[in-house]
Amino acid sequence: MRSIDIHAHIIPGSLWNAVDAGTEWYGFRHEPGKGLGAMVGGGMRTHFTTPKARMSLEDRLKDMDAQQVDVQVLSTHMPFVGYHLDAAQGLALARDVNDEIAEAARRYPKRLAGLATLPAQDVKSAIGELERSVTRLGLKGATLDTNVNGEQWDEPKFLPLFKAAEQMGAMLFFHPQPQNNFLRDRIKRHGLFNSLGVILDDAIVTAILICGGVLEACPNIRICIAHGGGPACYAMGRLDRTWHGRPDTRSTPRPPSAYQRRLYYDTVTGSEEELRFLLDRVGADRVVLGSDWPFVPWHPSPVAWVQGLKSLTQEEKDKILWRNLESLLGL
């Protein structure tokens, strides 16, 4: 049985080189502290919660073996997408990160693939970098935050980016910034900004892509939402009720639930019951393996977790673990 993980982060080596040299990395500066310390920049303080964040590629492969993961699809750690930078700096950061991810995939083509980061604050540059990353670097698409400096993805200015991704057959993987969601400002206690705030952002971007007409405008686009889309599919009945009951709010010809099977969702859901609910709503063809490496601990592994779920058929497990992504990404 194969396994392909869509949700595996990488911290750029150029960032660690800057830390060692005592210099800034695109405006981010290092603060020594427990473990690997923290990076401060873009209005955030990002603590590295695991030493795996600085693993070499060779040690990463060993850890993948221990986790029973055959292929990781690499994406940057989201605090470092650099949307707060000006267009030139944002593009420079993206090219730096994407070149490094592409080099990793070239070194270990049977074990690693990659998703680009894009300077989404400048749509023209983002389209150009997506094209370079897919056609020249061989990356499989791009990872995007759930908003761009407070702007939502259904703004008309972003539609050309979605059209370009659709034309290229590029996968877009949406993942919120855990250090920068709205719940952090509302309540700082109990760790809720991470445990709850992150998945609320997942649900919000899912609703925006559906209700904002992005999926209607781009019928063949490939989009995956992290963390199983959070509670988005659970909320579809309420979204539908608004669509039916308040025609003035409609931006799509069909109710929101008609589009939920057009998206893909990873398995980082938190429990078997949540994953089963998701599968019953969207089908096993739309769910793919995710681990959130290296920030979510799995015992013994994300693969073993899926294999051990009694409510899933073997066919569902095969689709989730490898068949869907093998086909989608050409792996």
Evaluate whether residue 33 is within a structural domain. Answer: no
CATH number, position 117: 3.20.20.140
Question: How confident is residue 69, by pLDDT bands cut at 50, 70 and 90?
Answer: very high
Tracing tokens 């590029």 back to the chain, one arrives at 170
| Averaged pLDDT for residues 94-108 | 98
- Segment (H or E) for 239: helix 236-245
pLDDT at residue 315 greater than cutoff 90? yes
Q: What percent of the chain has pLDDT over 90?
A: 90
Evaluate whether residue 43 is within a structural domain. Answer: no
Query: What is the crossing angle of helices 197-211 and 236-245, to 10°?
Result: 40
Evaluate whether residue 26 is within a structural domain. Answer: no
Q: Say if CB 107 and CB 61 are below 8 A apart.
A: no
Please give the tally of structural domains in the chain.
1
Evaluate whether residue 45 is within a structural domain. Answer: no
What residues are paired with 47 via a beta bridge? 38
Residues contacting residue 313 through CB under 8 Å, at least 6 positions apart: none
Q: What confidence tens digit (pLDDT) does each residue in 148-175 have?
A: 999 999 999 999 999 999 999 999 999 9
**Measured distance CA(7)–CA(291) in Å, rounded:** 6
Evaluate whether residue 17 is within a structural domain. Answer: no
Determine the pLDDT at residue 193: 83
Determine the pLDDT at residue 142: 98
**Measured distance CA(117)–CA(134) in Å, rounded:** 11
pLDDT at residue 43 greater than cutoff 90? no
pLDDT at residue 191 greater than cutoff 90? no
Q: Say if CB 174 and CB 202 are below 8 A apart.
A: yes
Ramachandran angles phi, psi of 205, nearest 5°:
-70, -35
pLDDT at residue 105 greater than cutoff 80? yes
Determine the pLDDT at residue 327: 95
Evaluate whether residue 161 is within a structural domain. Answer: yes
Determine the pLDDT at residue 1: 65
Evaluate whether residue 37 is within a structural domain. Answer: no
Q: Say if CB 303 and CB 322 are below 8 A apart.
A: no
pLDDT at residue 59 greater than cutoff 80? yes
Find the domain containing 311 and state its range: 4-12+51-329
Q: What confidence tens digit (pLDDT) does each residue in 244-254 have?
A: 999 999 999 99
**Measured distance CA(200)–CA(265) in Å, rounded:** 14
Determine the pLDDT at residue 299: 87
Q: Which amino acid is present at 92?
A: A
pLDDT at residue 294 greater than cutoff 70? yes
Q: Which residue, among 313, 214, 307, 325, has the nearest Cα to 266 in the 3D structure?
A: 325
Determine if residue 48 is left, alpha or beta; phi over 0 gives left, psi from -120 to 50 gives alpha, anything else beta. Answer: beta
Q: What confidence tens digit (pLDDT) does each residue in 256-267 have?
A: 999 999 999 999
Evaluate whether residue 19 is within a structural domain. Answer: no
Q: How many helices (H) and strands (E) does the chain have?
A: 14, 12
Determine the pLDDT at residue 208: 98
Q: Say if CB 18 and CB 25 are below 8 A apart.
A: yes
Determine the pLDDT at residue 183: 81
Over the chain, what is the mean pLDDT?
96
Neighbours of 308 (CB within 10 A): 11
**Measured distance CA(133)–CA(117) in Å, rounded:** 9
Question: How confident is residue 192, by pLDDT bands cut at 50, 70 and 90?
Answer: confident
Cis amide linkage into residue 294, ω under 30° from 0? yes
